[in-house]
Structure 1
Protein backbone atom coordinates (compact mmCIF):
# COMPACT_ATOMS: atom_id res chain seq x y z
CA UNK A 1 0.00 0.00 0.00
CA UNK A 2 1.34 3.44 -0.95
CA UNK A 3 0.83 6.17 1.62
CA UNK A 4 2.25 9.69 2.19
CA UNK A 5 5.27 9.63 4.49
CA UNK A 6 4.75 13.21 5.66
CA UNK A 7 3.10 16.28 4.22
CA UNK A 8 5.91 16.45 1.68
CA UNK A 9 6.00 14.96 -1.80
CA UNK A 10 7.12 11.47 -0.80
CA UNK A 11 4.84 8.42 -0.98
CA UNK A 12 6.10 5.05 0.16
CA UNK A 13 4.96 1.52 0.79
CA UNK A 14 6.17 -2.08 1.04
CA UNK A 15 4.62 -5.01 -0.80
CA UNK A 16 6.10 -8.29 0.34
CA UNK A 17 9.87 -8.03 -0.04
CA UNK A 18 9.81 -4.97 -2.31
CA UNK A 19 9.71 -1.36 -1.15
CA UNK A 20 8.49 1.42 -3.41
CA UNK A 21 9.06 5.16 -3.07
CA UNK A 22 7.31 7.60 -5.39
CA UNK A 23 8.14 11.28 -5.80
CA UNK A 24 4.75 12.97 -6.14
CA UNK A 25 5.12 16.63 -7.10
CA UNK A 26 4.58 16.50 -10.87
CA UNK A 27 3.79 20.21 -11.06
CA UNK A 28 7.44 20.94 -10.13
CA UNK A 29 8.92 17.99 -12.07
CA UNK A 30 9.47 16.30 -8.69
CA UNK A 31 12.13 18.80 -7.65
CA UNK A 32 13.36 18.15 -4.12
CA UNK A 33 13.41 20.85 -1.47
CA UNK A 34 15.61 20.38 1.57
CA UNK A 35 12.72 19.06 3.67
CA UNK A 36 11.94 16.38 1.08
CA UNK A 37 15.62 15.39 0.90
CA UNK A 38 15.74 15.00 4.69
CA UNK A 39 12.46 13.07 4.78
CA UNK A 40 13.57 10.71 2.03
CA UNK A 41 16.96 10.10 3.66
CA UNK A 42 15.19 9.46 6.97
CA UNK A 43 12.84 6.96 5.36
CA UNK A 44 15.79 5.12 3.83
CA UNK A 45 17.48 5.01 7.23
CA UNK A 46 14.33 3.52 8.77
CA UNK A 47 13.96 0.91 6.05
CA UNK A 48 17.66 0.00 6.02
CA UNK A 49 17.15 -2.13 9.13
CA UNK A 50 14.37 -4.22 7.61
CA UNK A 51 15.62 -7.73 6.92
CA UNK A 52 12.48 -8.59 4.94
CA UNK A 53 13.32 -6.19 2.10
CA UNK A 54 15.08 -7.59 -0.97
CA UNK A 55 14.63 -4.73 -3.44
CA UNK A 56 13.59 -1.08 -3.53
CA UNK A 57 12.02 0.87 -6.40
CA UNK A 58 12.36 4.65 -6.63
CA UNK A 59 10.17 6.37 -9.23
CA UNK A 60 8.14 9.50 -9.85
CA UNK A 61 4.75 10.72 -10.99
CA UNK A 62 4.09 12.86 -14.03
CA UNK A 63 6.34 13.68 -16.98
CA UNK A 64 9.58 13.81 -14.98
CA UNK A 65 11.42 11.51 -12.62
CA UNK A 66 13.19 14.25 -10.68
CA UNK A 67 14.47 17.75 -11.36
CA UNK A 68 16.98 17.69 -8.51
CA UNK A 69 17.18 20.50 -5.98
CA UNK A 70 14.44 23.10 -5.97
CA UNK A 71 15.77 26.15 -7.82
CA UNK A 72 14.18 28.42 -5.23
CA UNK A 73 16.56 27.02 -2.61
CA UNK A 74 19.72 26.59 -4.68
CA UNK A 75 20.92 30.16 -4.30
CA UNK A 76 19.22 30.97 -1.01
CA UNK A 77 20.39 28.12 1.22
CA UNK A 78 23.73 27.09 2.71
CA UNK A 79 24.86 24.00 0.81
CA UNK A 80 28.11 23.42 2.73
CA UNK A 81 26.43 20.39 4.33
CA UNK A 82 24.77 19.21 1.15
CA UNK A 83 21.51 17.31 1.84
CA UNK A 84 21.41 16.04 -1.75
CA UNK A 85 24.80 14.39 -1.31
CA UNK A 86 23.64 12.81 1.94
CA UNK A 87 20.48 11.57 0.24
CA UNK A 88 22.40 10.06 -2.67
CA UNK A 89 24.85 8.42 -0.26
CA UNK A 90 21.87 6.90 1.58
CA UNK A 91 20.50 5.52 -1.70
CA UNK A 92 23.89 4.15 -2.74
CA UNK A 93 24.48 2.57 0.67
CA UNK A 94 20.98 1.12 1.03
CA UNK A 95 21.48 -2.56 1.92
CA UNK A 96 19.47 -4.02 -0.98
CA UNK A 97 19.50 -3.13 -4.69
CA UNK A 98 17.67 0.08 -5.59
CA UNK A 99 15.99 0.32 -8.99
CA UNK A 100 15.28 3.74 -10.49
CA UNK A 101 12.08 3.71 -12.52
CA UNK A 102 12.73 6.77 -14.68
CA UNK A 103 9.19 7.64 -15.71
CA UNK A 104 10.32 10.78 -17.56
CA UNK A 105 12.92 13.52 -17.67
CA UNK A 106 15.87 13.55 -15.28
CA UNK A 107 17.45 16.92 -14.56
CA UNK A 108 20.20 18.40 -12.40
CA UNK A 109 20.53 16.65 -9.07
CA UNK A 110 17.90 14.18 -10.25
CA UNK A 111 20.62 12.71 -12.46
CA UNK A 112 22.73 12.10 -9.36
CA UNK A 113 19.76 10.53 -7.57
CA UNK A 114 19.35 8.15 -10.51
CA UNK A 115 23.08 7.39 -10.61
CA UNK A 116 23.03 6.55 -6.90
CA UNK A 117 20.64 3.68 -7.68
CA UNK A 118 21.95 0.26 -8.67
CA UNK A 119 19.85 -0.06 -11.81
CA UNK A 120 18.06 2.44 -14.05
CA UNK A 121 15.10 1.70 -16.31
CA UNK A 122 14.09 4.57 -18.58
CA UNK A 123 11.22 5.28 -20.91
CA UNK A 124 11.20 6.23 -24.56
CA UNK A 125 11.09 9.99 -25.06
CA UNK A 126 12.88 10.83 -21.80
CA UNK A 127 15.95 13.03 -21.66
CA UNK A 128 18.50 14.12 -19.08
CA UNK A 129 20.78 17.07 -18.49
CA UNK A 130 22.76 18.66 -15.67
CA UNK A 131 22.56 22.49 -15.91
CA UNK A 132 24.97 23.97 -13.31
CA UNK A 133 27.34 25.30 -16.00
CA UNK A 134 24.37 27.21 -17.44
CA UNK A 135 23.65 28.72 -14.02
CA UNK A 136 27.15 29.60 -12.82
CA UNK A 137 27.21 26.80 -10.25
CA UNK A 138 30.02 24.35 -9.42
CA UNK A 139 28.44 20.94 -8.87
CA UNK A 140 29.25 19.04 -5.68
CA UNK A 141 32.41 16.89 -6.14
CA UNK A 142 30.71 13.81 -4.69
CA UNK A 143 28.13 13.95 -7.46
CA UNK A 144 30.78 14.35 -10.15
CA UNK A 145 32.62 11.36 -8.66
CA UNK A 146 29.42 9.33 -8.85
CA UNK A 147 29.07 10.16 -12.55
CA UNK A 148 32.73 9.31 -13.21
CA UNK A 149 32.28 5.91 -11.57
CA UNK A 150 29.09 5.04 -13.46
CA UNK A 151 29.61 6.71 -16.82
CA UNK A 152 33.34 7.24 -17.31
CA UNK A 153 35.38 10.39 -17.81
CA UNK A 154 34.28 11.54 -21.25
CA UNK A 155 30.55 11.16 -20.68
CA UNK A 156 30.99 13.01 -17.38
CA UNK A 157 32.78 15.86 -19.18
CA UNK A 158 29.95 16.11 -21.69
CA UNK A 159 27.39 16.07 -18.90
CA UNK A 160 28.97 18.70 -16.64
CA UNK A 161 31.25 20.85 -18.82
CA UNK A 162 29.02 21.06 -21.90
CA UNK A 163 25.73 20.81 -19.97
CA UNK A 164 24.69 18.55 -22.84
CA UNK A 165 21.15 17.25 -23.17
CA UNK A 166 21.04 13.47 -23.66
CA UNK A 167 18.08 11.77 -25.34
CA UNK A 168 16.88 8.32 -24.32
CA UNK A 169 18.87 6.30 -26.87
CA UNK A 170 22.07 8.17 -26.02
CA UNK A 171 21.48 7.50 -22.33
CA UNK A 172 21.24 3.79 -23.04
CA UNK A 173 24.33 3.83 -25.26
CA UNK A 174 26.43 5.60 -22.62
CA UNK A 175 25.43 3.16 -19.88
CA UNK A 176 23.19 5.52 -17.95
CA UNK A 177 20.20 3.26 -18.65
CA UNK A 178 20.21 -0.49 -18.13
CA UNK A 179 16.91 -0.83 -19.96
CA UNK A 180 14.80 1.44 -22.18
CA UNK A 181 11.11 0.61 -22.53
CA UNK A 182 7.85 2.15 -23.68
CA UNK A 183 6.26 4.26 -20.90
CA UNK A 184 3.41 1.80 -20.47
CA UNK A 185 5.92 -1.05 -19.97
CA UNK A 186 7.91 0.58 -17.16
CA UNK A 187 6.10 -1.03 -14.23
CA UNK A 188 6.21 -4.46 -15.87
CA UNK A 189 9.97 -4.26 -16.42
CA UNK A 190 10.52 -3.11 -12.84
CA UNK A 191 8.34 -5.98 -11.58
CA UNK A 192 10.35 -8.41 -13.69
CA UNK A 193 13.61 -7.17 -12.22
CA UNK A 194 12.38 -7.13 -8.62
CA UNK A 195 11.02 -10.63 -9.21
CA UNK A 196 14.53 -11.79 -10.09
CA UNK A 197 16.02 -10.05 -7.05
CA UNK A 198 13.50 -11.50 -4.60
CA UNK A 199 14.40 -14.98 -5.83
CA UNK A 200 18.12 -14.62 -5.12
CA UNK A 201 19.98 -15.30 -1.87
CA UNK A 202 19.65 -12.16 0.30
CA UNK A 203 22.91 -12.57 2.23
CA UNK A 204 24.90 -12.91 -0.99
CA UNK A 205 23.16 -9.98 -2.72
CA UNK A 206 23.44 -7.68 0.30
CA UNK A 207 27.06 -8.65 0.89
CA UNK A 208 28.13 -8.17 -2.71
CA UNK A 209 26.32 -4.83 -2.95
CA UNK A 210 28.29 -3.62 0.10
CA UNK A 211 31.52 -4.83 -1.49
CA UNK A 212 30.71 -3.10 -4.80
CA UNK A 213 30.03 0.20 -3.02
CA UNK A 214 33.26 -0.01 -1.03
CA UNK A 215 35.33 -0.96 -4.08
CA UNK A 216 33.85 1.88 -6.15
CA UNK A 217 34.91 4.32 -3.41
CA UNK A 218 38.35 2.77 -2.96
CA UNK A 219 37.51 1.97 0.66
CA UNK A 220 37.13 -1.81 0.81
CA UNK A 221 37.15 -3.21 4.34
CA UNK A 222 38.86 -6.48 3.43
CA UNK A 223 38.28 -8.09 6.82
CA UNK A 224 34.56 -7.28 6.72
CA UNK A 225 34.37 -8.61 3.15
CA UNK A 226 35.99 -11.88 4.25
CA UNK A 227 33.43 -12.12 7.05
CA UNK A 228 30.60 -11.65 4.55
CA UNK A 229 32.07 -14.37 2.33
CA UNK A 230 32.39 -16.77 5.27
CA UNK A 231 28.83 -16.03 6.41
CA UNK A 232 27.48 -16.91 2.98
CA UNK A 233 29.37 -20.21 2.84
CA UNK A 234 28.07 -21.09 6.32
CA UNK A 235 24.47 -20.10 5.59
CA UNK A 236 21.49 -22.39 5.13
CA UNK A 237 20.82 -20.45 1.93
CA UNK A 238 24.09 -21.77 0.49
CA UNK A 239 23.04 -25.32 1.31
CA UNK A 240 19.60 -24.62 -0.18
CA UNK A 241 21.14 -23.24 -3.37
CA UNK A 242 23.25 -26.37 -3.84
CA UNK A 243 20.31 -28.64 -3.06
CA UNK A 244 18.03 -26.80 -5.47
CA UNK A 245 20.61 -27.05 -8.23
CA UNK A 246 21.04 -30.76 -7.57
CA UNK A 247 17.27 -31.36 -7.48
CA UNK A 248 16.64 -29.10 -10.49
CA UNK A 249 14.09 -26.95 -8.66
CA UNK A 250 13.84 -23.26 -7.78
CA UNK A 251 15.60 -22.45 -4.50
CA UNK A 252 13.71 -21.02 -1.54
CA UNK A 253 16.02 -18.58 0.23
CA UNK A 254 15.32 -17.26 3.71
CA UNK A 255 18.27 -14.96 4.32
CA UNK A 256 19.71 -17.28 6.93
Structure 2
Protein backbone atom coordinates (compact mmCIF):
# COMPACT_ATOMS: atom_id res chain seq x y z
CA UNK A 1 0.00 0.00 0.00
CA UNK A 2 1.39 3.40 -1.00
CA UNK A 3 1.66 6.40 1.29
CA UNK A 4 -1.19 8.15 -0.50
CA UNK A 5 -3.43 5.09 -0.22
CA UNK A 6 -2.67 4.86 3.47
CA UNK A 7 -3.86 8.42 3.99
CA UNK A 8 -7.09 8.00 2.00
CA UNK A 9 -9.88 9.20 4.25
CA UNK A 10 -11.23 12.33 5.92
CA UNK A 11 -9.29 15.62 5.68
CA UNK A 12 -6.13 15.81 7.77
CA UNK A 13 -5.45 18.75 10.07
CA UNK A 14 -1.86 19.66 10.94
CA UNK A 15 -0.55 22.66 12.85
CA UNK A 16 2.91 24.18 12.49
CA UNK A 17 3.34 27.16 14.79
CA UNK A 18 0.88 29.86 13.74
CA UNK A 19 -0.20 28.10 10.52
CA UNK A 20 -2.77 25.29 10.30
CA UNK A 21 -3.19 23.13 7.19
CA UNK A 22 -6.31 21.19 6.24
CA UNK A 23 -5.48 18.64 3.55
CA UNK A 24 -8.09 16.73 1.55
CA UNK A 25 -6.88 13.14 1.57
CA UNK A 26 -8.61 10.96 -1.01
CA UNK A 27 -6.04 11.09 -3.86
CA UNK A 28 -7.26 7.92 -5.62
CA UNK A 29 -10.53 9.78 -6.29
CA UNK A 30 -8.89 13.18 -6.86
CA UNK A 31 -9.87 14.19 -3.31
CA UNK A 32 -13.56 13.76 -3.93
CA UNK A 33 -15.49 15.21 -0.99
CA UNK A 34 -17.70 12.69 0.80
CA UNK A 35 -20.60 13.56 3.13
CA UNK A 36 -18.53 12.50 6.15
CA UNK A 37 -15.76 14.86 5.04
CA UNK A 38 -18.12 17.80 5.59
CA UNK A 39 -18.51 16.73 9.23
CA UNK A 40 -14.74 16.32 9.62
CA UNK A 41 -14.03 19.74 8.13
CA UNK A 42 -16.51 21.42 10.48
CA UNK A 43 -14.89 19.64 13.44
CA UNK A 44 -11.45 20.87 12.37
CA UNK A 45 -12.75 24.43 12.04
CA UNK A 46 -14.31 24.13 15.51
CA UNK A 47 -10.94 23.07 16.90
CA UNK A 48 -9.09 25.92 15.21
CA UNK A 49 -11.56 28.50 16.48
CA UNK A 50 -10.58 27.54 20.02
CA UNK A 51 -6.83 27.92 19.36
CA UNK A 52 -5.68 31.52 19.72
CA UNK A 53 -2.12 30.63 18.70
CA UNK A 54 -3.13 29.76 15.11
CA UNK A 55 -3.34 32.78 12.79
CA UNK A 56 -3.64 31.39 9.24
CA UNK A 57 -5.42 28.40 7.68
CA UNK A 58 -4.17 26.71 4.49
CA UNK A 59 -6.58 24.44 2.58
CA UNK A 60 -5.03 22.03 0.07
CA UNK A 61 -5.25 18.58 -1.50
CA UNK A 62 -3.19 15.40 -1.74
CA UNK A 63 -1.66 14.21 -4.99
CA UNK A 64 -2.34 15.66 -8.44
CA UNK A 65 -5.62 17.50 -7.80
CA UNK A 66 -7.04 19.87 -5.24
CA UNK A 67 -10.47 18.25 -5.45
CA UNK A 68 -12.87 16.75 -7.98
CA UNK A 69 -15.77 18.22 -6.00
CA UNK A 70 -18.65 16.74 -4.05
CA UNK A 71 -19.53 13.06 -4.44
CA UNK A 72 -21.97 12.87 -7.37
CA UNK A 73 -23.45 9.64 -6.01
CA UNK A 74 -24.71 11.48 -2.95
CA UNK A 75 -26.00 14.28 -5.15
CA UNK A 76 -27.96 11.74 -7.23
CA UNK A 77 -29.38 10.17 -4.07
CA UNK A 78 -30.60 13.54 -2.84
CA UNK A 79 -32.14 14.41 -6.21
CA UNK A 80 -34.19 11.21 -6.05
CA UNK A 81 -35.35 11.77 -2.46
CA UNK A 82 -38.72 13.37 -1.61
CA UNK A 83 -38.42 17.10 -1.03
CA UNK A 84 -39.49 16.70 2.59
CA UNK A 85 -36.53 14.37 3.18
CA UNK A 86 -34.00 17.01 2.25
CA UNK A 87 -31.96 17.95 5.35
CA UNK A 88 -32.05 21.67 4.62
CA UNK A 89 -31.51 24.44 7.16
CA UNK A 90 -32.80 27.84 6.13
CA UNK A 91 -32.48 26.83 2.47
CA UNK A 92 -28.78 25.92 2.80
CA UNK A 93 -27.40 22.51 1.90
CA UNK A 94 -24.70 20.93 4.08
CA UNK A 95 -22.07 21.71 1.42
CA UNK A 96 -23.19 25.31 1.16
CA UNK A 97 -22.97 25.73 4.93
CA UNK A 98 -19.37 24.56 4.84
CA UNK A 99 -18.41 26.94 2.01
CA UNK A 100 -20.13 29.86 3.74
CA UNK A 101 -18.37 29.00 6.98
CA UNK A 102 -14.98 28.98 5.26
CA UNK A 103 -15.71 32.41 3.76
CA UNK A 104 -16.68 33.81 7.16
CA UNK A 105 -14.04 31.89 9.13
CA UNK A 106 -12.21 34.24 11.49
CA UNK A 107 -8.72 33.23 10.39
CA UNK A 108 -7.37 34.40 7.04
CA UNK A 109 -7.42 31.45 4.62
CA UNK A 110 -5.15 30.42 1.75
CA UNK A 111 -6.14 27.78 -0.79
CA UNK A 112 -3.05 25.95 -2.05
CA UNK A 113 -4.29 24.73 -5.43
CA UNK A 114 -1.91 21.84 -6.08
CA UNK A 115 -3.84 20.78 -9.20
CA UNK A 116 -7.28 20.72 -10.76
CA UNK A 117 -10.33 22.11 -8.97
CA UNK A 118 -13.74 20.98 -10.14
CA UNK A 119 -17.43 21.33 -9.28
CA UNK A 120 -18.28 22.22 -5.70
CA UNK A 121 -14.64 22.37 -4.68
CA UNK A 122 -14.26 25.46 -6.88
CA UNK A 123 -16.51 27.21 -4.36
CA UNK A 124 -14.55 25.94 -1.35
CA UNK A 125 -11.45 27.46 -2.93
CA UNK A 126 -13.26 30.68 -3.85
CA UNK A 127 -14.46 30.99 -0.26
CA UNK A 128 -10.81 31.28 0.82
CA UNK A 129 -9.19 34.71 1.01
CA UNK A 130 -6.27 33.79 -1.27
CA UNK A 131 -5.91 31.15 -4.01
CA UNK A 132 -2.43 30.24 -5.21
CA UNK A 133 -2.17 27.96 -8.23
CA UNK A 134 0.43 26.56 -10.63
CA UNK A 135 0.62 25.81 -14.34
CA UNK A 136 -1.07 22.48 -13.53
CA UNK A 137 -4.15 24.15 -12.04
CA UNK A 138 -7.38 24.14 -14.06
CA UNK A 139 -11.04 24.49 -13.20
CA UNK A 140 -14.38 23.19 -14.45
CA UNK A 141 -17.91 24.00 -13.27
CA UNK A 142 -20.24 21.26 -14.63
CA UNK A 143 -23.52 22.36 -12.97
CA UNK A 144 -25.36 23.22 -16.22
CA UNK A 145 -24.15 20.01 -17.86
CA UNK A 146 -25.50 18.03 -14.91
CA UNK A 147 -28.83 19.86 -14.86
CA UNK A 148 -28.11 21.35 -11.44
CA UNK A 149 -28.95 24.90 -10.40
CA UNK A 150 -26.06 25.82 -8.14
CA UNK A 151 -26.84 26.79 -4.55
CA UNK A 152 -27.46 30.43 -3.72
CA UNK A 153 -24.41 31.09 -1.53
CA UNK A 154 -21.99 29.82 -4.15
CA UNK A 155 -23.54 31.91 -6.92
CA UNK A 156 -23.42 35.00 -4.71
CA UNK A 157 -19.73 34.31 -4.06
CA UNK A 158 -18.92 33.90 -7.75
CA UNK A 159 -20.72 37.09 -8.78
CA UNK A 160 -19.41 39.27 -5.94
CA UNK A 161 -15.83 38.03 -6.21
CA UNK A 162 -15.43 37.53 -9.97
CA UNK A 163 -18.21 39.65 -11.46
CA UNK A 164 -21.30 38.58 -13.43
CA UNK A 165 -19.48 38.12 -16.77
CA UNK A 166 -16.98 35.61 -15.37
CA UNK A 167 -19.72 33.87 -13.38
CA UNK A 168 -21.87 33.49 -16.51
CA UNK A 169 -18.94 32.13 -18.47
CA UNK A 170 -18.19 29.49 -15.85
CA UNK A 171 -21.75 28.47 -15.00
CA UNK A 172 -23.46 28.74 -18.39
CA UNK A 173 -20.77 27.25 -20.65
CA UNK A 174 -19.27 24.51 -18.40
CA UNK A 175 -15.94 25.46 -20.01
CA UNK A 176 -12.63 24.26 -18.59
CA UNK A 177 -10.28 27.14 -17.77
CA UNK A 178 -6.50 26.83 -17.62
CA UNK A 179 -4.38 28.51 -14.95
CA UNK A 180 -3.50 31.67 -16.89
CA UNK A 181 -7.17 32.39 -17.60
CA UNK A 182 -8.10 31.65 -13.99
CA UNK A 183 -5.59 34.33 -12.99
CA UNK A 184 -6.92 36.79 -15.57
CA UNK A 185 -10.53 36.60 -14.36
CA UNK A 186 -9.44 36.90 -10.73
CA UNK A 187 -10.14 33.36 -9.58
CA UNK A 188 -6.46 32.86 -8.78
CA UNK A 189 -4.85 35.55 -6.67
CA UNK A 190 -1.37 34.27 -7.57
CA UNK A 191 0.12 31.90 -10.15
CA UNK A 192 3.55 30.38 -9.57
CA UNK A 193 5.65 27.53 -11.01
CA UNK A 194 4.91 24.18 -9.35
CA UNK A 195 8.37 24.12 -7.77
CA UNK A 196 7.62 27.42 -6.00
CA UNK A 197 4.13 26.63 -4.72
CA UNK A 198 5.14 25.62 -1.20
CA UNK A 199 7.51 28.54 -0.72
CA UNK A 200 4.93 31.05 -1.99
CA UNK A 201 2.23 29.68 0.31
CA UNK A 202 4.65 29.69 3.26
CA UNK A 203 5.75 33.27 2.48
CA UNK A 204 2.16 34.53 2.28
CA UNK A 205 1.12 32.68 5.43
CA UNK A 206 4.13 34.08 7.26
CA UNK A 207 3.36 37.64 6.19
CA UNK A 208 -0.23 37.35 7.40
CA UNK A 209 0.73 35.63 10.65
CA UNK A 210 3.22 38.40 11.47
CA UNK A 211 0.47 41.04 11.53
CA UNK A 212 -1.84 41.94 14.41
CA UNK A 213 -4.15 38.90 14.56
CA UNK A 214 -7.28 40.48 16.08
CA UNK A 215 -7.20 43.49 13.75
CA UNK A 216 -6.45 41.26 10.74
CA UNK A 217 -9.48 39.11 11.51
CA UNK A 218 -11.70 42.16 12.06
CA UNK A 219 -10.66 43.73 8.75
CA UNK A 220 -11.30 40.45 6.91
CA UNK A 221 -14.82 40.48 8.33
CA UNK A 222 -15.43 44.08 7.26
CA UNK A 223 -14.08 43.48 3.74
CA UNK A 224 -16.39 40.47 3.32
CA UNK A 225 -19.38 42.50 4.50
CA UNK A 226 -18.58 45.31 2.06
CA UNK A 227 -18.16 42.84 -0.84
CA UNK A 228 -21.54 41.23 -0.13
CA UNK A 229 -23.31 44.54 0.37
CA UNK A 230 -24.27 43.78 3.98
CA UNK A 231 -21.88 46.06 5.86
CA UNK A 232 -22.85 46.74 9.45
CA UNK A 233 -21.66 50.35 9.65
CA UNK A 234 -21.95 50.61 13.41
CA UNK A 235 -20.01 47.40 13.90
CA UNK A 236 -17.30 48.47 11.45
CA UNK A 237 -16.95 51.77 13.33
CA UNK A 238 -16.74 49.87 16.61
CA UNK A 239 -13.95 47.66 15.25
CA UNK A 240 -12.02 50.75 14.20
CA UNK A 241 -12.42 52.56 17.51
CA UNK A 242 -11.62 49.42 19.52
CA UNK A 243 -8.38 49.05 17.58
CA UNK A 244 -7.35 52.59 18.55
CA UNK A 245 -7.52 51.60 22.23
CA UNK A 246 -6.17 48.06 21.88
CA UNK A 247 -2.93 46.38 22.84
CA UNK A 248 -2.10 45.61 19.21
CA UNK A 249 -1.80 49.25 18.10
CA UNK A 250 0.29 49.98 21.20
CA UNK A 251 2.76 47.25 20.21
CA UNK A 252 2.66 48.21 16.54
CA UNK A 253 3.45 51.87 17.22
CA UNK A 254 6.13 50.93 19.76
CA UNK A 255 7.81 48.62 17.26
CA UNK A 256 7.66 51.33 14.60
CA UNK A 257 9.41 53.81 16.90
CA UNK A 258 12.02 51.23 17.88
CA UNK A 259 12.59 50.20 14.23
CA UNK A 260 11.88 46.51 14.86
CA UNK A 261 9.31 43.94 13.85
CA UNK A 262 6.23 43.95 16.09
CA UNK A 263 5.52 40.96 18.32
CA UNK A 264 1.79 40.55 18.82
CA UNK A 265 0.33 38.49 21.65
CA UNK A 266 -1.90 35.52 20.89
TM-score, normalised relative to structure 2? 0.89
2:173 match: secondary structure:
coil
Moved over 3 A (4+): 78-81
Which residues in structure 2 correspond to 1:205-224 (within 5 Å)?
Answer: 205-224=216-235
Give the equivalent residue in structure 2 for 1:43: 44
Which residues in structure 2 correspond to 1:43-82 (within 5 Å)?
Answer: 43-77=44-78, 78=86, 80=88, 81-82=92-93
RMSD, matched Cα: 1.6
Give the equivalent residue in structure 1 for 2:83: none
Report if aligned partners of 2:133, 2:190 keep a CA contact under 8 Å in 1: yes
1:17 and 2:18 equivalent? yes
Report if aligned partners of 1:38, 1:87 keep a CA contact under 8 Å in 2: no
Which residues in structure 2 correspond to 1:160-179 (within 5 Å)?
Answer: 160-179=171-190
1:79 positional shift: 6.7
Report if aligned partners of 2:8, 2:27 keep a CA contact under 8 Å in 1: no
Unaligned 5+ runs, structure 2: 1-6, 79-85
Which one of 92, 113, 125 corresponds to residue 114 of structure 1? 125
Give the equivalent residue in structure 2 for 1:100: 111
Report if aligned partners of 1:21, 1:58 keep a CA contact under 8 Å in 2: yes
1:248 positional shift: 1.7
Give the equivalent residue in structure 2 for 1:192: 203
1:214 match: secondary structure:
helix
CA–CA distance in structure 1, aligned partners of residues 182 and 8 of structure 2: 33
1:92 positional shift: 0.7
TM-score, normalised relative to structure 1? 0.93
1:141 and 2:152 equivalent? yes
CA–CA distance in structure 2, aligned partners of residues 242 and 172 of structure 1: 36
CA–CA distance in structure 2, aligned partners of residues 49 and 85 of structure 1: 23
1:181 positional shift: 1.3
Report if aligned partners of 1:30, 1:64 keep a CA contact under 8 Å in 2: yes
1:221 positional shift: 2.4
CA–CA distance in structure 2, aligned partners of residues 62 and 124 of structure 1: 15
1:68 positional shift: 1.5
CA–CA distance in structure 1, aligned partners of residues 50 and 96 of structure 2: 21
1:231 positional shift: 2.0
Report if aligned partners of 1:8, 1:35 keep a CA contact under 8 Å in 2: no
CA–CA distance in structure 2, aligned partners of residues 61 and 208 of structure 1: 31
Unaligned 5+ runs, structure 1: 1-5
1:19 positional shift: 0.7
Report if aligned partners of 1:38, 1:83 keep a CA contact under 8 Å in 2: no
1:222 positional shift: 2.4
Report if aligned partners of 1:45, 1:90 keep a CA contact under 8 Å in 2: no
1:236 positional shift: 1.9
1:7 positional shift: 8.6
